[in-house]
Amino acid sequence: MNEPHVLIVEDEPAQREVLAYNLEAEGYRTSRAEDGEQGLLLVDEDAPDVIVLDWMLPNVSGIEVCRQLKMRPETRAIPIIMLSARSEEVDKVRGLETGADDYVVKPYAVAELMARVRTQLRRVRPSTVGQVLTYEDIALDAETHRVSRGETELKLGPTEFRLLSTFMEKPGRVWSREQLLDRVWGRDIYVDTRTVDVHIGRLRKVLTQNGGVDPVRTVRGAGYALG
């Protein structure tokens, strides 16, 4: 559902499983690919929030996967953490030149890699790593599930809460109804897009219960945005 989604692209099964186990223990959802080609397919199928990508892979190498993802506008913003057995400085430079966001040398401590994943998530999904989000006079704390506007604490249903946290992660971004369905309801559940409108209506009602400007903007033909 709304938990962060991490894609692991790693050809060694034992390493792949250890990573998946630890990421899931952190409360994340994982997808796993055993080579570069499968990795690219999975990104198109179900875009992850972060990718942990091994350098040495059969078929399409990690560098090539990274290069391709960073070239495409729709995948460019997904953070990539490269894993490599090589430690030479020159390779590190090459890895970062392909656009990788971070670089971890094998063998690595799992705790270290988890910290790196959290750092990337803080950038792309701040509410999921316990950060309090604010937008104008609205504050949302994902850890305690508290939302306030000005001095008033607001009571939101679980769906309205997830909608608001999605908006507050990227104020100004326009979300289509389909994108909101995927993010807030999950892509495995069939929900009519009109359901989105119903919950947006409820969210607006709570946000404006004491007056104040409605911060949710309807973008005709496109969807909704905060601000």
Kindly list the residues in this chain that would bind Ca ion in the complex (CB under 5 A): 11, 54, 56
Minimum distance, C-beta of residue 92 to Ca ion, in the bound complex (Å): 17
- What span, in angstroms and rounded, lies between the C-alpha atoms of 59 and 72? 20
DSSP code for 131: P
Answer whether the bond into residue 79 is a cis peptide, omega within 30°.
no
- If the CB atoms of residues 55 and 167 are measured against Ca ion, the closer one turns out to be 55
**C-alpha closest to that of 69 among 42, 106, 107, 30:** 42
* Token output for 44: 């198109």
- If the CB atoms of residues 56 and 124 are measured against Ca ion, the closer one turns out to be 56
- What span, in angstroms and rounded, lies between the C-alpha atoms of 110 and 25? 12
- If the CB atoms of residues 11 and 182 are measured against Ca ion, the closer one turns out to be 11
Residue with nearest beta carbon to Ca ion:
56
* CA 6 from centroid of its chain's CA atoms: 8
In whole angstroms, how far apart are CA 35 and each of 62, 65, 180, 194? 8, 10, 30, 39
Minimum distance, C-beta of residue 56 to Ca ion, in the bound complex (Å): 4
Minimum distance, C-beta of residue 54 to Ca ion, in the bound complex (Å): 4
Minimum distance, C-beta of residue 61 to Ca ion, in the bound complex (Å): 9
- What span, in angstroms and rounded, lies between the C-alpha atoms of 186 and 172? 22
- If the CB atoms of residues 42 and 207 are measured against Ca ion, the closer one turns out to be 42
- If the CB atoms of residues 14 and 189 are measured against Ca ion, the closer one turns out to be 14
Question: Which residues are CB-contacts of 158 (< 8 A; sequence separation ≥ 6)?
Answer: none
- If the CB atoms of residues 54 and 102 are measured against Ca ion, the closer one turns out to be 54
β-bridge mates for residue 83, sequence order: 54, 104
